[in-house]
Each structure stands twice: as structure tokens, then as C-alpha cells.
Chains A and B, each alone.
Chain A
Amino acid sequence: MPLQSEINKKPADHPEGAERTRSGQFFRPNCDIVEREDEILVLADMPGARGEQIDVRFEDGMLTIHAPVPDRREPEAEYLLCEYGVGDYWRTFQVSEAVDASKISAEYANGVLTLHLPKAESVKPRRIAVATA
């Protein structure tokens, strides 16, 4: 049985310099990353998120997942046990593998986000000619 601290959601740092538009904590979702022949598969555990509100961006080789989670906590409720935090999910990956950004697809079911990042058809190495005097 793994340590409880490994199971709990880990707080995530918000990007430096970014303005916080709402209060609350960010969590780093646990992810599985699988490389297949034609794609990279990313699975992220994000219980409580709403599929239509998940924001996935791919820019300059940076993959960003952000999912707002509505706060369902009642301030006056009496908690007998409170093991998990409620807050937005946020995580960033750097992808240096050539990925066809236009064909990235995502689906969300049962609290798990599945991202398909298809590899680019051809990764052409750029040759730089060295001029000799």
C-alpha cells in the first residue's frame, strides 16, 4: 500500500507572473504518459472537473492542462473526514517530440482526461550550411 501522501492530490504552482482571477488552491493531476508508435497518450486523473470546461493548450512545445473545479464546499458543514482538497487542476508539460498540433484530440470520461498527441508525419532535420572562406 503506497504512502497516503503519494495518493493525495499535490498542490501545483501557478505560473509565475500570472494574475489570479479567483482564489483557491491549484492541484497537479496525476498523469500517465504512454508512448505509442504513432502518438503520445496522456491520461490525467481529474475527478470533479467538468469536461466542457477543461482547457487544453499547446503552444511553443508547451502543453498546458487547466480545469476549473466548482467549489462545492459548504462553509458551515461539519466534516468528519476531509482527505482531499477541492480546487482547479493545472499542469504543464514540455513536449520536444514533434507533435502535429492540429490533430491533438482530448476526451473526458469518469474523471479521467485522455489526450492524444499524434506525432508529426515527418520530422525534417534542418541543415545549416557552413560557409568556408
Chain B
Amino acid sequence: MKSFIPWQAKRQEGDPGQPAPLAGLRHEIDKLFDAYVREPLEGVEWPFGSHGKWVPAVEVIDSDDAVVIRVELPGVDPDAIDVTATDTRLVVSGEKCQAPRPERSKGCRCEMRYGTFRRSVALPEGADIENIDARYEHGILTLQVPKQPPAAPKVHIKVAG
């Protein structure tokens, strides 16, 4: 498998079989951090709203009539995605299976993340959770949450000083 190497990596790092000393050090620090900080705290809700084996990237766009939430979920079966909403929070969870690739453990290069994921996003006031539209296309989950217009217009308050 040494014969299949990323071209860029070869050019930049020299021998791909030998990690650069600095990269090795970083890897060691990451491992220590995982062992002493992340693993004992597994199961604890993280303040930024994610918990699971991998963390899909999220994009939230707010406009006057809707909130659009996009989650990058490449390779996830749409049936395995679970979306739940309360008045204040929307939770996307599920699992990315590696079942069709049982021989993955023997592979030389593994950059993809598999396993369970969970992300929660705060919903703004007036979100209409009864009419959320969810679509999964090209590996991206798009959630459209309609919003009731605010009862009172925004008021600007002058700061005296």
C-alpha cells in the first residue's frame, strides 16, 4: 500500500512513512488530551452542543421568515438521520455506518469518520417547529424552520455616555 500515496503529502513531507517530528509531537499531545480530558468526560453535554464519535459541520442562517440549518453528512443513510425539535432546540443525530466496508481496518489510509453523531442547535424565538422541512441531498441535510415575524419591531436603544 506504500505505492498509493497522496502526491502533495509526498512532496511536502518527504518520506510519507515517517511522520515529521513536529506532527508526531502534536499527535502525542492530542492523545494525552483524549486520555485525560475527553474520555473521562464522554457523555457530558459539551457547551457548544455536540456529542458523539464525530462532529459534522453545521451552518445556520437566520432571516426574517425562516432559519436554514445545513449539516454536512456525507455517506449517511437518510433513514438513519434523526431530527427532533423542541421550542428552543433542534437536535440532529444518527450514525454513519461503515458496514459495507468491513475490510476498512486493513486499509492504509483512513481519514473519514464513522460512528454516532449528535449536534444540537438553538432555535430563535418564534420558530415554527410543526412545519420544519427536512431534505437530504448530495450529502447535505437542509432543514428549513419557518419563523413567525416578531410581534414588535426592533427598537434601537441609545447608550448614554
Number of interface residues of A (CB under 8 A): 47
Query: Residues of A contacting B1 with CB < 8 Å?
Result: 33, 35
Closest to A34 in B: B107
Inter-chain CB contacts under 8 Å: number: 146
In chain B, positions 1-42 with a C-beta closer than 8 Å to chain A are: 1, 3-8, 10, 30, 38, 42
Closest to A74 in B: B61
B60 CB to nearest A CB, Å: 4
Number of interface residues of B (CB under 8 A): 50
Contact mask for chain A residues 78-96; partner B; CB cutoff 8 A; 1 contact, 0 none? 1111111000000111111
The 7 closest A-B pairs by CB, nearest first: A111-B139, A47-B139, A111-B74, A84-B57, A30-B111, A81-B60, A34-B107
Residues of chain A having any CB pair with chain B under 8 Å:
1-4, 7-9, 12-13, 28, 30-36, 40-41, 43, 45-51, 62, 74, 77-84, 91-97, 110-112
Residues of chain B having any CB pair with chain A under 8 Å:
1, 3-8, 10, 30, 38, 42, 46, 50-63, 67, 72-78, 101, 103-104, 106-113, 121, 136, 138-140
